[in-house]
Chains A and B, each alone.
Chain A
Amino acid sequence: MEINGLSFFKLSLTTQAVAIGERIKKGTYRPCIETLPTSTLMGCFKEFFGLESVASIGFFVKGTYQKSLLSYAPFDAALGTAKLPLTLEYLSTGNDHKEIKGEVYITATEQTRAIFAEKVVTHQVILGAFRSKGLGLCQLKFERELQPERKRGYLRGNFRETDAPDFGIDLKKDIISPRYGYLFRPDNYRIGGQYEKALFVGTILEGPDFLIGEEYIYD
């Protein structure tokens, strides 16, 4: 069953290395997740295309990447001393693939159509952490427009609850079993913000098929 009036653009994403952190700002070990949450993508689209509050979410294609570790000793310029070394987990190319592949879904609006669909070009954006070390350089390209079908199953990405209506999801009716976490929403000045409750991978829900991994057959 189609979700009334909802239309999305599917964009292909390619990169060589990327680190989407689990938001651990402190500590010496920084793990990385394997999806592109709404918070990361919406921040990126705002930064590179000036898009405000346009829902988007993404996933990396399994088998095109592996997890690698990067050790880094930050230098405190003020004190002239090294800080505790950090170990950063990131996605790198793997399994004979020359590039990490991903797919990004973004709401089809006049604005996004003008940017991505009217003239198909490759856009270059930077996502995630350790940009200064060369991570996160990604290419985005329009693939197709789609009207998602409704499907019931396990969520395969992370999105903020406040973004749910943009994906045609009614939090009261469509969430069968939530798994919660938090995603960041920056404020208008981009120097602050707050963490918002979000639905994480493993949530059981009804929603657009591109959000669903394994189908849920019970209940």
Chain B
Amino acid sequence: MNKPFIAELHDIGKLSDPEALKVAGLDVKGHTYHNFDFAQLGIDKPTSPSWWAQWSDDRKIKSLESRRLLSKTNDPNYEGNFCVLLTKLADTIASSTSRPIKVEIDDKDEEGEYNKDRQVEGVRLLWRPDYYQKEKEKGKYWAAFSTPDELKQMFAFVDQCQNSSEFFVKYQNNLQLRAEDISTPNNAISLGTHLDLTGKIFRVLRNSISLVDNNGKRQLVYAGQIALNLTEMAGGRWDEQLKSEWIFRLIKCRVSFPQSLVRLQDLNVLRLRQEKIKEIVEKQNVGGDVERQPYAVLFNTDDFFSIFLPKESILKFKDIVKPLLDEGFLLDYEELEAELNLITSTGSITWKNLNNKYGSREKVRQARHFELRQRNIGPELASEIQPPLCDLCQQRPGQPWDKDQVREWLCAICRKIRDMGEPAHAISDWEMHSKPLAWLKISLEQDLLLACLQRLFNEYVEKGPGMQRVTAEQKDELKAGFRPLATQMGFVEHYKAMLTDFRAVLSGLKDTSENTTLLEQEALLYPVQDYNELVVVRLDNPQRLGHILDIFREQISRYFPACTADNPIRLSVSLGNAKYPYQEHWRFFSEKQVTGQVFHLQQPGIRQVRLTIPQYNVLRDKLDGTQIAHILHRLSEIEAEAGEITAMVEALQEKRLPFQELVWQHKINFTQILDFYRLVTVATEGYKPNGD
């Protein structure tokens, strides 16, 4: 084959609009074009092997005996046909890990007519249900091929496309707006995310599985195990009996570092972590083979990645993460080793389901292959170290490192991190301003995300269009069968987009005279160049912090409007002067994240406030105005002098302050009300460099 096989193109037809093409006079059936009459367009069918992927939707392609796969080994289509089968398998696994696939819903009404209530135009993202409508209002549309000419372009693209990236770049908008399956509740996954997942799984399968001719009999071999059809390759879902011997893995890995951040240069560890994760992502495509990759990083953030890979005897996880281990990073990971159809990013739920189904762990092991492990790994360490120990990581022997007449003891890795440069030099220049700084850290907690996605899916199953026709029993099956991998990938993409957007909005803030108020390096600093989760802002005026928090609230509401109660994203803000110890900010940022508490604010050692989005909204709304500010100022003084109880009694008597509403209706305690007021106003007024 001269041209590559690109599995993602098997669903390119889903970007065509059959109704519009029919109106234009073409005879089009469904979204696959393997039976299309090309004479209608006056062209020949594509010759690229990627074209054959159209057959992956053919229900007959389930065994090696299917017509498409009967070619001889010397047939030039031999490898291509094998790829079609693997595409079918990858497509099934991508669906299986991302949504319920076993629930059959009858869409015929009482008269036996096909009911299209569940078919909805465009993707309906769980966390952002209005996404498609908003994009459509901007003039975007899910279909890329609505006219005969555009359809010709599609066939030409299939013939010319050299790799999946070309496809994703060229049709990015359409792929994001088209649902993989247009029926509720499956339309929660965009076609782009589904194909990204399918392509990655395909390339790992292609790299790991061989098609062999055994005395004229076709066999698929993986790790010494032979399979003759898709069922033998993939096994069944958790509620089925079908077992497969073909074992693959999904690993969810958090990357942390042991260093205490003492000097600004130590922030380079964030850059190093980012670079090393990127290195692992790039290494999967090493060699430039567009059809094969040894493992697939399904998605990643700057401190987390999810990876699909074959069993340990074929590829060692430690070898993949070596770039991180060599630099002293610590990895906490959850490894699911299972039959292909049991792979899920919520392994603990399937673990419980299987235990309940089979009655005991031992019986599960007899019936299925499903092993879940939690592990920590780090660099190799010596059994003894003669002092001194490295001051920062405390993992290796330290050597003297002198600066400003202060001697520190650093190991080779921590020294290297220091030598990576001055990442936030502007902060030392800010010392002369005697203004407080706000350190902002945005984070996404993956376990909270999984819980949030399940809750959103459950709600969608209950309330989605056409779902009133679905029985309660089927709804329960849908909820139990949900697997969040693809939605998790989609959410992470939107999270990254929100971070970029937040940075752009902060950098573009203007005052009433149209002057930029937060010039990067002058009053706004992203200490690590491409690391959008960490921001430092100089609070030159008392309104600035509140303003920034409002911008963040707007971004969250725009990108994740359905996650008001249980948003897995958090904004931590720690105030301090330019000299305040950075590790104290970092320690605050590292505190365990609690569901829904999006705003996490502190003036170190003095006050901390944790608020949900509704609580933040009501405080910003109700504590606005000069009169209220006067009351709160007075209450703060009373609290400082006479204690909390006396101040509370005073607050109860103050009718202009909606104290009871805040406390009883919104569950915000009195101290949090006063502390929030102090943090967003008083804390930045007349700020003392020592932070007290």
Contacts and interface: CB of A to CB of B under 8 A. Distances in A.
Interface of A: 22-29, 31, 68-69, 84, 87, 161, 177-182, 184, 192-197, 202-204, 216, 218-219
Interface stretch (B243-251, B380-388, B435-443, B547-555): B380-388
B285 interface: no
B521 to A, nearest CB: 26
Contact of A26 (B348, B376, B391): B391
Chain B interface bracket (under 10, 10 to 19, 20 to 34, 35 or more): 35 or more
28 contacts: A25-B409, A26-B406, A27-B408, A29-B581, A29-B584, A31-B587, A68-B605, A87-B581, A177-B375, A177-B377, A180-B378, A180-B381, A181-B395, A182-B389, A194-B384, A194-B385, A194-B387, A195-B386, A195-B387, A196-B383, A197-B381, A197-B384, A202-B376, A204-B374, A216-B374, A218-B372, A219-B371, A219-B373
Nearest to B408: A26
A23 B389 CA distance: 9
B163 interface: no
Interface string B567-607: 00000000000000101100100000000000000001100
A179 B385 contact: no
A27 B406 CA distance: 8
A14 B406 CA distance: 37
Nearest to B583: A29
A68 B584 CA distance: 11
Most buried by B among A22, A68, A218: A218
Contact of A194 (B260, B375, B386): B386
Interface of B: 258, 260, 262, 330, 332, 348, 351, 371-378, 381-389, 391, 394-395, 406-409, 581, 583-584, 587, 604-605
Nearest to B400: A26
* Cβ-closest 9 pairs across A and B: A195-B385, A29-B581, A177-B375, A218-B372, A179-B376, A197-B383, A26-B391, A26-B408, A27-B262
A197 B371 contact: no
A197 B387 contact: no
Nearest to A83: B406
B383 to A, nearest CB: 5
A27 B373 contact: no
A181 B394 contact: yes
B422 to A, nearest CB: 18
Contacts of A22: 260, 394
B630 to A, nearest CB: 32
Contacts of A26: 391, 406-409
Nearest to B336: A218
Given A29-B581, A182-B394, A203 B376 contact: yes
A31 B406 contact: no
A28 B388 CA distance: 17
B236 to A, nearest CB: 22
Most buried by B among A22, A27, A177, A181: A27
Contacts of B374: 177, 204, 216, 218
Contacts of A194: 384-387
Contacts of A87: 581, 584
Nearest to B262: A27
Given A182-B394, A193-B387, A218-B351, A27 B260 contact: yes
Contacts of B394: 22-24, 181-182
Contact of A161 (B330, B383, B391, B581): B383
Given A24-B391, A182-B385, A182-B395, A31 B376 contact: no
Most buried by B among A24, A84, A181, A193: A24
Contact of A27 (B382, B385, B391): B391
B364 to A, nearest CB: 12
A23 B258 CA distance: 13
Contacts of B260: 22, 24, 27, 29, 31
A186 B376 CA distance: 29
Contacts of B378: 179-180
Contacts of A179: 330, 376, 378
Contacts of B381: 180, 182, 197
Nearest to A185: B384
A177 B406 contact: no
A182 B411 CA distance: 14
A8 to B, nearest CB: 26
B336 to A, nearest CB: 10
Nearest to A216: B374
Contacts of B581: 28-29, 87
Contact of B406 (A69, A84, A197, A218): A84
A28 B582 CA distance: 11
Contacts of A178: 376
